[in-house]
Amino acid sequence: MLIDAFFEKGRKFLGCKYPIICGAMTWVSDPRLVSSIGNAGGFGLLAGGNTPVEIFEQQIIETGELTDKPFGVNLITLAPVYKDQLDLVCKLGCPVVVFAGGIPKKDDIRKAKKCGAKVVCFAPTAPLAYQLIDRGADSLMLEGSEAGGHIGPVALSVLIQQILFQVDAVPIFIAGGIATGRMMAHLLMMGASGIQMGTRFIMSEECVAHPNFKEVFRKAKAKDAIATPQFDSRLPVIPVRALKNEGSVEFAKLQLELLSKLDDNRIDRLEAQFKVEEFWVGALRKAVLDGDVAKGSLMAGQSVGLVDKIQPLVEIIEELIGDAESELQRLKRTFNQNASSGT
């Protein structure tokens, strides 16, 4: 297949059949989903989030028992348990470590690599991309603001031009707003080593998300997935893209309440930021596991407007590969026709 040539770099880096990554989603990316992604030929990421170390260790071990295919872990550098999680993944020899949520220190990158891990870092801006490579990152993840959950400030179309077209020192994976094989084909042709998706994989049969959660996704349009605002720079919250509901309103109220406490010195900024993340973890669990789609958090990328059915993971992967290959073949015919006609 034509697509094999475009998969070569990503395959070599991740060690899987298809360099299609399932993004780490709190309460969603559990051992079953991650192992199923690997067994279908893709690459799954366990979500570290703020998971207690002993539970995270159980999840890593369980995933390894469910698949003999490689998988990685995603660590949030701002999480209170981050350092302990990093010690854990080094102890267990996890092959791929993704640092997210903040810029990892050079020592942390070096520590992960010393334990044999390949390190992937999110690059939200061009200057940070070069800085992360200097710090030792083995690969970069470019995630546009179209993505779901915690998002960066720049659209994918701009990140592609600023970073993907300029950087060739390390493999680069692309995320944000991707849900089809045709789109994947074009990203691979532009130089991406692979893609990452989250929203599309929530609509898999193997995903633990409550039927209510999936049904909301099925009915949603792209414009329904909106980013939360930041009311005041004193409380620098990372924007979260989610489907608007009562939970979105509650988050706005929480920000105003925390700002009032900051004004009165009843809380410091670090504690306020922790309260924000605590809200999202609880609200997301309420929606994903309990099915409370009114007050829980419905984190979703704008690609939610492109998914309208629940499918087995194998079928999703096969569809992505088939559509990507068809698009590459179509473009090849177009190029050949233009070349033969002299246009």
Residue 274 pLDDT: 80
Delineate the domains of the chain, giving CATH numbers in brackets.
3-208+311-337 (3.20.20.70), 211-302 (no CATH)
Gap between the Cα atoms of 251 and 278, Å rounded: 11
Range in 23-32, 142-151, 246-255, 302-311 the model is least confident about: 246-255
This prediction has a pTM of: 0.94
Residue 343 has pLDDT above 70, yes or no: no
Gap between the Cα atoms of 252 and 246, Å rounded: 10
Gap between the Cα atoms of 63 and 35, Å rounded: 6
Residue 110 has pLDDT above 80, yes or no: yes
Average pLDDT over all residues of the chain: 94
324 neighbors 185 (Cβ within 8 angstroms): yes
The 10s digit of each residue's pLDDT in 178-219 is: 999 999 999 999 999 999 999 999 999 999 999 999 999 999
Mean pLDDT, residues 81-99 taken together = 96
85 neighbors 24 (Cβ within 8 angstroms): no
